[in-house]
């Protein structure tokens, strides 16, 4: 759900006189702060609660640097309800690199308040603050508040200076704990035109605006500003659950996007472009279109990649394999080339942009149609589709077209087969950039479903000892995930040993892995196993559950209400074929009912069928999730669907001996 409202304000392009803005300090602590009111947003899952949160952003001049800075002031008061809420006293402030400069933080203050006859306050020592580099683009400031106890209150305040004068911070109203009150104020100088957008499920409680006359001095003239305040009260905690995109896609938040500004002579400058303008800029960019056109890097080595008689699809597959082998991913994302195709080939490593632009260029040299597709990864958030925001994208894949069929390719992933995208790239839509026509949105999805099949065969003897075989077949994203996991081990034997050592109820006697390197084929694991059912078998009766591995015991969907879709990344299927010979003389006394469950329009389906003939128990079970995405209004049905499956799988087979 999205609510739009617009703030028309104005800007400058030269330095402004430094105007000292009012600080955003929290009010004095009182006994009333320790009395948390009864509220439906606070329940047994709440281990801490935000009493008050305030933020304020405005622009000032850095006298030393003679540059403009956006000053973000932040203050929060949190009550710790129990020991599980103690982690809220461990605080991290991320500082981002803007251009060639990092944001900086100052005036960090922390206080712990508790009642000991009267309100006692302990101030955090400055030595408790630590700074570290997370990566090339993010620094972190960390600290822990002192004297944390149940029912204490902590206050945190700080100020961030950012060189990014064209953007105000996104203000997130929702967090993983409830908030009683959250307020954000933006003071925006004249001549800026911002699109201000509220995203998420919850509406604002109040919004206010006022004109600040003559707030800034520009070229000897006073300039007006708009003060915009947005308030939300009684905000429930945002609970993350399995199968979701980045939380920031769904949390209630205020976002500021600069649309246009006016120069001092009154000329309007538009920052919102059309896609045709972005297409032209990308294709003329040396690190983007300039790398696609480097076909000469490959024409002389094409005979190394494929044979003249190969079909177009075979050529594309061999080129894909060649690029994967020649350029190893350095674990850096990017929609642009980091080193350039030529240098990446020489270095034999590069970022995602280097690798997939090289793939597109090599396909072009072979006369195969291939195009770049801009992607925002799942953790980066969904890209805006209303108008171009190039900074929304942090990744690049290729689309290759052969014999009238389209294939998504990402050559950065070692264990990824031809035509499959990794889960990180399955995130709404991507933007495919053509060379001779306008770009367009294209849905990011995998045609190959994720599936896992268990084939279990064996015998149970008179003493209740089971011996048999388990064969597991993986396809699609399930195969990719399992190949990646196996590759973490130094050898296949080490992986199989780990399997043997960590099978609690099952003893693995021997095992093997098939088609680990044959990425276009299913991955197969095969094990000889034994299990002890002696405690389950008597002279006259026997009971056991034949789903010996990976039985579903916990529902992945537990929220009372989920305000965001269930996104699996692809359609999924899990199935079992089981055949077990029992000792002679046992007759079936009780068994789970043969059943078929389905959601409306067969959005999901579960089937369970068993039969017992001549001492052999045969069972087939299949769970098919026939949609990659389930909308909010389908959540309750999906949750209940899983609950019924779990209850059904709890029922053992019971046998008696006559």
Three-state DSSP at 640 gives: helix
Report angle CA 163, 164, 166 to the nearest 5 degrees.
Answer: 140
Helix or strand holding residue 282 (H, E): helix 275-284
Structure confidence at residue 322 (pLDDT) = 97
Residue 183: per-residue pLDDT: 97
Specify the 3-state DSSP secondary structure of 322.
Answer: helix
Alpha-carbon distance of 658 to 656, in angstroms, equals 6
Predicted local distance difference test score (pLDDT) of residue 98: 84
Tokens 């944390």 sit on residue: 148
End-to-end CA distance of the chain: 64
For the chain, what's the residue count? 658
| Helix residue spans in 366-491 (DSSP H) | 477-487
Task: Please choose, from the candidates 592, 620, 617, the residue with its C-alpha nearest in 3D space to the C-alpha of residue 606.
Answer: 620
The span from the CA of 293 to the CA of 342, in Å, is: 11
Fold designation for 2-270: Immunoglobulin-like (2.60.40)
Q: How many other C-beta atoms are found inside a 10 Å radius of the C-beta of residue 426?
A: 24
Instruction: Quote the pLDDT of residue 106.
Output: 94
The pLDDT value given to residue 214:
86
Residue 243: the pLDDT is 95
Are 43 and 127 contacting, i.e. CB atoms less than 8 angstroms apart? Answer: no
**CA-CA distance, 577 to 609, in Å (whole number)?**
10
* CATH classification for the domain delimited by 275-443, as one of 3.10.620.30, 3.40.50.620, 3.30.300.30, 3.20.20.80: 3.10.620.30
Q: What is the pLDDT of residue 5?
A: 35
Q: Which residues contact 582 (CB under 8 A, 6 or more apart)?
A: 460, 542, 615, 616, 617, 655
Task: Spell out the domain ranges in the chain.
Answer: 2-270, 275-443, 450-657
Q: Which residues of the chain have pLDDT under 70?
A: 1-24, 61-66, 217-221, 262-266, 272
The two structure tokens encoding residue 348: 């034999």
Q: Give, in words, the CATH class of 450-657.
A: mainly beta
What are the structure tokens assigned to 261, written together?
């500004």
**Same fold flag, 2-270 and 275-443:** no
Q: Which of 197, 563, 246 is nearest to 382 (CA)?
A: 246
In order, the DSSP letters of 131-173 are EEE-SSSEEEEEEE-SS--TT-EEEEEEEEEES-TT-PPPEE-
Is residue 175 within 8 Å of 237, Cβ to Cβ?
Answer: yes
Conformational region of residue 232, where left means phi above 0, alpha means psi within -120 to 50, and beta covers everything else = beta
What pTM did the predictor assign? 0.85
pLDDT score at 65: 57
> pLDDT value at position 7?
35
d(CA 124, CA 90): 12
> Using CA atoms, how far apart are residues 655 and 537, in angstroms rounded to an integer?
9
């Amino acid at each position: 759900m999205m609510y739009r409202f617009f703030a028309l304000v104005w800007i400058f392009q030269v330095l402004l006189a430094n105007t000292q803005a009012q600080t955003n300090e929290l009010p004095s602590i009182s006994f009333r702060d320790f009395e948390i009111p009864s509220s439906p947003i606070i329940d047994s899952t709440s281990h801490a609660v935000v009493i008050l949160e305030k933020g304020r952003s405005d622009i000032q001049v850095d006298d030393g640097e003679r540059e403009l800075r956006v000053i973000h002031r932040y203050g929060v008061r949190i009550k710790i309800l129990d020991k599980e809420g103690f982690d809220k006293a461990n605080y991290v402030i991320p500082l981002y690199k803007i251009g060639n400069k990092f944001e900086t933080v100052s005036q960090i203050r922390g206080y712990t308040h508790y009642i000991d006859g009267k309100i006692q306050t302990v101030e955090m020592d400055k030595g408790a603050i630590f700074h570290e580099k997370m990566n090339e683009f993010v620094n972190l400031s960390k600290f822990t508040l002192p004297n944390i106890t149940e029912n204490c209150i902590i206050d945190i305040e700080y100020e961030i200076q950012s060189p990014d004068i064209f953007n105000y911070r996104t203000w997130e109203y929702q967090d993983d704990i409830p908030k009683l009150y959250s307020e954000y104020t933006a003071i925006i100088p004249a001549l800026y035109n911002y699109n201000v957008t509220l995203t998420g499920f919850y509406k604002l409680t109040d919004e206010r605006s006022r004109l600040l006359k003559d707030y800034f001095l520009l070229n000897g003239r006073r300039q007006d500003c708009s003060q915009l305040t947005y308030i939300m009260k009684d905000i429930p905690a945002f609970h993350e659950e399995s199968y979701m995109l980045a939380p920031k896609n769904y949390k209630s938040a205020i976002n500021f996007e600069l649309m246009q500004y006016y120069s001092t002579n009154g000329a309007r400058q538009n920052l919102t472009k059309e896609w045709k303008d972005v297409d032209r800029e990308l294709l003329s960019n040396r690190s983007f279109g300039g790398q696609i056109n480097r076909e000469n890097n490959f024409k002389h080595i094409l005979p190394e990649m494929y044979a003249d008689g190969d079909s177009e699809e075979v050529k594309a597959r061999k080129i894909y394999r060649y690029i994967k082998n020649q350029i190893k991913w350095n674990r850096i994302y990017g929609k642009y080339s980091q080193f350039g195709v030529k240098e990446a080939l020489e270095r034999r490593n590069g970022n995602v942009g280097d690798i997939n632009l090289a793939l597109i260029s090599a396909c072009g040299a072979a006369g195969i149609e291939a195009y770049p597709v801009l992607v925002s990864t799942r953790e980066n958030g969904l890209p805006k589709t209303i108008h171009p925001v190039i900074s929304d994208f942090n990744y690049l894949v290729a689309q290759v077209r052969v014999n009238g069929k389209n294939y998504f390719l990402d050559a950065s992933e070692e264990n990824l087969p031809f035509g499959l995208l990794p889960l990180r790239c399955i995130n709404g839509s991507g933007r495919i950039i053509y060379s001779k026509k306008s770009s367009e949105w294209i849905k990011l999805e995998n045609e190959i479903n994720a599936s896992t099949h268990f084939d279990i065969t064996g015998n149970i003897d008179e003493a209740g000892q089971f011996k048999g075989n388990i064969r597991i077949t993986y396809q699609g994203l399930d195969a990719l995930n399992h190949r990646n996991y196996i590759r973490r081990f130094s050898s296949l034997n080490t992986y199989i040993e780990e399997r043997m050592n960590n099978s609690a109820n099952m003893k693995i006697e021997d095992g093997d892995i098939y088609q680990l390197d044959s990425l276009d084929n299913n991955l197969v694991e095969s094990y000889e196993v034994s299990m002890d059912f002696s405690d389950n078998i008597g002279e006259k009766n026997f009971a056991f559950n034949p789903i010996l591995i990976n039985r579903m015991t916990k529902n992945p969907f537990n929220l009372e209400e989920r305000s965001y879709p269930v996104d699996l990344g692809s359609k999924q299927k899990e199935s079992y074929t089981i055949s077990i010979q029992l000792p002679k003389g046992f007759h079936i006394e009780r068994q789970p009912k043969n059943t078929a469950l389905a959601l409306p329009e067969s959005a999901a389906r579960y089937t369970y069928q068993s039969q017992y003939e001549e001492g052999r128990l045969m069972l087939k079970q299949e769970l098919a999730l026939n949609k990659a995405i389930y909308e909010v209004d389908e959540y309750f049905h999906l949750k209940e669907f899983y609950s019924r499956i779990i209850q059904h799988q709890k029922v053992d087979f019971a046998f008696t001996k006559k």
